[in-house]
């Protein structure tokens, strides 16, 4: 189907490359690294996480907290943490966010050798070498290597929302790696492993998103995501044609949730057309920029909302409406809690 739809930011119920490109230009990735030395500098900070329902990986975030995946901790409030030299500690889950699949765990009296792993500044660069350290199938301290294969990916979740700004790598990641770090050759965390096990494809939650979410999990136990209350689709050539667009660009508003932030501000699709045998939306606003940042796809919109905005913030949305470009002001809401 042309332009997979979402519900809005970070959403496949709602999901900026220009922003990412600007960040990439400011970051020079390390090269010609010594895998063994990078591994030795980082592995002491990587832990095994065990609950009654399974196991995964985590890593030291600050003096008292570890980062892992929300799906690793599940519904647990306590879990067992094993450090590099075999010491076990009890961990307390202080916060989880299912929309980014991140969790923060407090551990008292962690071993002194297990020091916090820093995150990268800026965005990873496609082609730079990376290491994945974790516990696949319970094999503790396992190292795999590869490169950054892609950035600004959207990861579908069972909740109907996408995790935005994800990092793709060809470094092997398997069950048990979840929650562990993807590390650059200067020993900094590029992303938190979220999923793997495919043919040379694994994904991680970006350092940029993790650095927004984790501090709030530690302080408040949760994280509030910005929310537009719309369903969107990337404008493809098939969508551009019946909407009288000379070039495909932006995202089309398919639906607006009644009573949501965009109700009365953005206009939804009013009809459909069949193009080359596929039914596509027509007549809705086409979003082409947020606060002056060009939006070319659903992934770019999702990443911008996730990394640059907060609930209750008012942003300028540039749309093409009835063939004319104009800007409207939209006050973002808070993404509703998932239904259990």
The full DSSP string for 252-290 is EEEEE-TTSTTTTTS----EEEEETTEEEEESS-EEEEE
**Which residue, 267, 263, 262, is CA-closest to 305?**
262
Q: What is the pLDDT of residue 203?
A: 95
Whether residue 259 lies inside any domain: the answer is: yes
Whether residue 24 lies inside any domain: the answer is: no
Kindly list the distances between the CA atom of residue 71 and the CA atoms of 68, 132, 179, in Å, as whole numbers in the listed order. 9, 19, 9
Q: Which residues contact 91 (CB under 8 A, 6 or more apart)?
A: 49, 66, 78, 79, 80, 81, 105, 106, 107
**pTM of the full predicted structure?**
0.89
Q: What is the pLDDT of residue 17?
A: 38
Q: Enumerate the active-site residues.
A: 71, 101, 178
Q: What is the pLDDT of residue 14?
A: 43
Q: What is the pLDDT of residue 18?
A: 40
Whether residue 280 lies inside any domain: the answer is: yes
Whether residue 287 lies inside any domain: the answer is: yes
CB 91 within 8 A of CB 105: yes
Whether residue 205 lies inside any domain: the answer is: no
Collapse the DSSP code of 49 into the 3-class scheme (helix H, G, I; strand E, B; otherwise coil) and give the result: strand
Q: What is the pLDDT of residue 91?
A: 96
Whether residue 196 lies inside any domain: the answer is: no
Collapse the DSSP code of 18 into the 3-class scheme (helix H, G, I; strand E, B; otherwise coil) and give the result: helix
Kindly list the distances between the CA atom of residue 83 and the CA atoms of 35, 114, 135, in Å, as whole numbers in the listed order. 21, 8, 12
Q: Torsion over CA of 190, 191, 196 and 198, rounded to 10 degrees?
A: -50
Listing DSSP states for 77-102 in one string gives: SEEEEE-TTS-EEEEEEEEEETTTTE
CA distance linking residue 209 with residue 240, whole number of Å: 31
Q: What is the pLDDT of residue 31?
A: 66
The DSSP secondary-structure symbol of 45 reads G
Whether residue 289 lies inside any domain: the answer is: yes
Q: What is the pLDDT of residue 340?
A: 57
Q: What's the total number of domains in the chain?
A: 1
Strand 271-275 and strand 278-282: the pairing is antiparallel
Instruction: Show pLDDT as tens, one digit a residue, over the chain (340 residues).
Output: 344 444 554 443 444 334 444 444 467 767 666 899 999 999 999 999 999 888 999 999 999 999 999 999 999 999 999 999 999 999 999 999 999 999 999 999 999 999 999 999 989 999 999 999 999 999 999 999 999 999 999 988 767 788 999 999 999 999 999 999 999 999 999 999 998 767 789 999 999 999 999 999 999 999 999 999 999 999 999 999 999 999 999 999 999 999 999 999 999 999 999 999 999 999 999 999 999 999 999 999 999 999 999 999 999 999 999 999 999 999 999 999 876 5
Kindly list the distances between the CA atom of residue 124 and the CA atoms of 185, 205, 265, 297, 311, in Å, as whole numbers in the listed order. 11, 12, 35, 20, 27
Q: What is the pLDDT of residue 219?
A: 97
Q: What is the pLDDT of residue 8?
A: 58
Domain that residue 269 falls in: 226-334
CA distance linking residue 55 with residue 174, whole number of Å: 12
Whether residue 242 lies inside any domain: the answer is: yes
CB 9 within 8 A of CB 287: no
Q: What is the CATH number of the domain that holds 246?
A: 2.30.42.10
């Amino acid at each position: 189907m042309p332009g997979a739809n979402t519900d809005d930011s970070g959403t496949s119920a709602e999901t900026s490359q220009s922003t990412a490109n600007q960040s990439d230009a400011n970051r020079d990735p390390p090269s010609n690294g010594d895998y063994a030395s990078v591994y030795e500098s980082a592995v002491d900070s990587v832990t095994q996480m065990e609950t009654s329902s399974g196991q995964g990986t985590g890593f030291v975030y600050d003096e008292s907290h570890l980062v892992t995946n929300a799906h690793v901790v599940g519904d647990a409030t306590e879990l067992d943490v094993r450090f590099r030299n075999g010491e076990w500690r009890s961990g307390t889950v202080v916060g989880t966010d299912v929309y980014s699949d991140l969790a923060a765990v407090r551990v008292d009296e962690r071993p002194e050798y297990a020091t916090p792993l820093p995150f990268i500044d800026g965005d990873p660069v496609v082609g730079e070498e990376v290491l994945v350290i974790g516990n696949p199938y319970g094999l503790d301290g396992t190292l795999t290597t590869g490169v950054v294969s892609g950035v600004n990916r959207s990861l579908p979740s069972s909740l109907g929302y996408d995790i935005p700004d994800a990092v793709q790598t060809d470094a092997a990641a398997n069950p048990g790696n979840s929650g562990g770090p993807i590390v650059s050759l200067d020993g900094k965390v590029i992303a938190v492993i979220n999923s793997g096990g495919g043919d040379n494809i694994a994904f991680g939650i970006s350092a940029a998103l993790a650095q927004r979410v984790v501090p709030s999990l530690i302080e408040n136990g949760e994280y509030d995501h910005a929310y537009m209350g719309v369903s969107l689709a990337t404008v493809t050539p098939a969508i551009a044609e019946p909407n009288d667009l000379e070039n495909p660009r932006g995202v089309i508003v398919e639906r607006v949730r009644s009573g949501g932030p965009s109700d009365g501000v953005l206009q939804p699709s009013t009809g459909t057309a069949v193009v080359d045998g596929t039914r596509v939306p027509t007549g809705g606003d086409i979003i082409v920029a947020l606060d002056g940042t060009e939006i070319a796809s659903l992934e770019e919109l999702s990443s911008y909302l996730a990394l640059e905005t907060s609930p209750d913030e008012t942003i300028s949305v540039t749309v093409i409406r009835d063939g004319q470009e104009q800007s409207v002001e939209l006050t973002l809401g808070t993404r509703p809690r998932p239904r259990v």
